């Protein structure tokens, strides 16, 4: 039986690629090849960009009211198809169905926010800024924009990009991850079903060659990237050198600081969920716990609670975490665990070689916990992107803040405490873009911007919220004078003064 092949989405149509390069899409719980994805040719990318460029001429002038109505229909379709999208995510990524459904819900938040575009894309107006002179700003789209996404959120990450981009009047070319592209493609099809005209949203699949071509293409004005630091740095540099606006949300090493006065049950529950959910394959995962003072006494309970978590295929709704995305990912994670042992960290829970009876071929890594981790160890320096929690202990909150701030990454951090003064000191002194107080590191709700910082972000503006509106638009300032004939200033004015 022949395998299904994924199409490209160009000019509103499903297009069978003419490429000779294909990649198998593998279910990470079973190793079943579920479909094949094409690595598009440069000619096919050019066709997608040309389609978006042609569509931009009319789409940019489509009324805000019509764009808003399309977003309203899109959010309802996304809601109606949550189950279908979640199943695609679980089949190709491996995360549990409840987690996949939660991902669709977080993407839905952004689309719901885009429904308010009529009030989000407003300029400013000053009447009589000078004698008879009015000054106002126009918030205009950029043109053809593009997004390159990672594998770990095949619905949420595209939603961080194209809904606000097209709602503000741009057209868009999406390159989803080649590892699990089906949910991204289906998401785009639903957006077209909602009423986006042909060419406003195109989808091309591919690897580094297509990503580089997107960076180089003269008709693409802005690029959003979410993924690893290595790739994000390359994309940002190459796109910027080509004169494009670019944002790159990249790697992380997120900390959770626990003070001894914290609610013990709450803190442990949140820490375990943030460390091991999605098998740790989140840029917002908590990968380091900093236990302050007497909170060190909680370590045995943390380990036993982690040991009790259920590992299984994502289709098992009782599972707490599923497989990692691929065999190479599993090998890399297990290699880093081995390095942690060699470098002297205390391995309290070892998830290597984890097997699941009902899915013996799955890429499973069990919850893994290290204690006594220091800043010079590779398991602390590197983003493991797996279900591995590193723990360290300090005596005071000041030491914990200094430890976190010394890490080069700044994606997110969390604090658990019942002391409001400590929480206020923490949020003021911590040098990290996103802070959770008595919550695991949160991806902010969609009407607030994603504000990772330092080594986790390149570009001044992040996805979502006000920053996304600024990123996908440009401001044009108009200074105008309209007066009755013969009432304006007489004579030539050679100064810079408005008269």
Mean pLDDT of 383-387: 97
The predicted-structure confidence for 439-486, as pLDDT tens digits, reads as follows 997 788 999 999 999 999 999 999 999 999 999 999 999 999 987 776
- Give tens-digit pLDDT for 255-288: 999 999 999 999 999 999 999 999 999 999 999 9
Top-confidence residue, 490 or 26: 26
Q: What is the pLDDT of residue 486?
A: 66
Tell me the C-alpha distance between 23 and 37, whole Å.
5
Distance CA 260, CA 457 (A): 32
pLDDT of residue 498: 79
- Each as own residue / partner, the long-range contacts of residues 208-212 (CB below 8 Å, 24 or more positions apart, any chain) are 209/39, 209/42, 210/39, 210/40, 210/42, 210/45, 210/175, 211/148, 211/175, 211/235, 212/238
Residue 159 bears catalytic tag:
no
What confidence score (pLDDT) does residue 395 get?
98
Which of the following is catalytic: 145, 256, 283, 390? 283
pLDDT of residue 489: 64
Domains defined along the chain, listed by start: 8-250+464-478 (3.40.605.10), 254-437 (3.40.309.10)
Q: Average pLDDT, stretch 220-236? A: 97
Res. 346: pLDDT tops 80: yes
Q: pTM for this one? A: 0.95
Residue 488 is predicted with a pLDDT of 64
- Which residue do the tokens 């009015």 mark? 134
Averaged pLDDT, 50-68: 98
φ, ψ of residue 476 to 5 degrees: the values are -115, 125
Q: How far apart are CA 409 and CA 383, in angstroms?
A: 10
- Rounded-to-integer distance, Cα 472 and Cα 111, Å: 15
- Euclidean distance between CA atoms 226 and 148, whole angstroms: 7
pLDDT, position 112: 98
Query: 């200074």: which residue's tokens?
Result: 479
Instruction: Render pLDDT for 419-448 as a digit per residue (tens, 0 to 9).
Output: 999 999 999 999 999 999 999 977 889 999
Q: Are 170 and 472 in contact (CB under 8 A)?
A: yes
Choose among 355, 350, 256, 367: nearest CA to 305: 367
Give residue-wise pLDDT tens across range 348-375: 999 999 999 999 999 999 999 999 999 9
Token pair, residue 239, equals 């796109």
Query: What is the torsional sign of CA 383, 387, 391, 396?
Result: positive
């Amino acid at each position: 039986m022949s395998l299904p092949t994924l199409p490209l989405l160009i000019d509103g149509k499903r297009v069978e690629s003419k490429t000779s390069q294909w990649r198998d899409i593998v279910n990470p719980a079973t190793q079943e090849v579920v479909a094949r994805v094409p690595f598009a040719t440069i000619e096919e990318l050019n066709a997608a960009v040309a389609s978006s460029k042609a569509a931009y001429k009319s789409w940019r002038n489509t009324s805000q009211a019509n764009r808003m109505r399309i977003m309203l229909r899109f959010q309802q379709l996304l809601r109606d198809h949550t189950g279908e999208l979640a199943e695609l995510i679980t089949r190709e990524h491996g995360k549990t169905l409840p987690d996949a459904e939660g991902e669709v819900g977080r993407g839905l938040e952004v689309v719901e926010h885009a429904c308010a575009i009529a009030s989000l894309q407003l300029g400013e107006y000053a009447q009589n800024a000078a004698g008879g002179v009015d000054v106002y700003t126009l918030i205009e789209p950029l043109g053809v924009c593009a997004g390159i996404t990672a594998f770990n959120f095949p619905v949420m990450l595209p939603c961080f990009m194209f809904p606000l981009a097209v709602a503000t009047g741009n057209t868009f070319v999406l390159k989803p991850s080649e590892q699990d592209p089906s949910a991204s493609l289906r998401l785009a099809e639903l957006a077209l079903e909602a009423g986006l005209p042909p060419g406003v949203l195109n989808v091309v699949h591919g690897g580094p060659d297509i990503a580089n071509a997107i960076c180089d293409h003269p008709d693409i004005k802005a690029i959003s990237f979410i993924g690893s630091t290595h790739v994000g740095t390359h994309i940002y540099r190459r796109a910027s050198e080509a004169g494009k606006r670019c944002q790159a949300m990249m790697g992380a090493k997120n900390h959770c600081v626990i003070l001894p006065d914290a609610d013990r049950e709450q803190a442990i529950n949140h820490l375990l969920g943030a460390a091991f959910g999605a098998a740790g394959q989140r840029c917002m995962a908590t990968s380091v716990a900093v236990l302050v003072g007497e909170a060190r006494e909680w370590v045995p309970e943390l380990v036993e609670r982690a040991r009790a978590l259920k590992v299984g295929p994502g289709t098992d709704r009782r599972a707490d975490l599923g497989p990692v995305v691929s065999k190479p990912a599993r090998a890399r994670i297990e290699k880093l665990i081995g390095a942690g042992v060699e470098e002297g960290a205390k391995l309290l829970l070892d998830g290597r070689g984890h097997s699941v009876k009902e899915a013996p071929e799955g890429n499973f890594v069990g919850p893994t916990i290290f204690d006594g981790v220091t800043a010079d160890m590779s398991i602390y320096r590197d983003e493991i992107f797996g279900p591995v929690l590193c723990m360290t202990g300090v005596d005071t909150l000041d030491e914990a803040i200094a430890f976190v701030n010394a890490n080069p990454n700044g994606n997110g951090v969390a604090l658990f405490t019942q002391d409001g003064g400590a929480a206020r000191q923490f949020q003021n002194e911590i040098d990290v873009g996103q802070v959770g107080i008595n919550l695991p590191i949160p991806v902010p709700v969609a009407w607030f911007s994603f504000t990772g910082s330092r080594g986790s972000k390149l570009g001044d503006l992040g996805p979502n919220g006000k920053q996304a509106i600024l990123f996908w638009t440009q401001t044009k300032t108009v200074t105008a004078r309209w007066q009755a004939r013969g009432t304006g200033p007489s004579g030539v004015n050679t100064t810079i003064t408005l008269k």
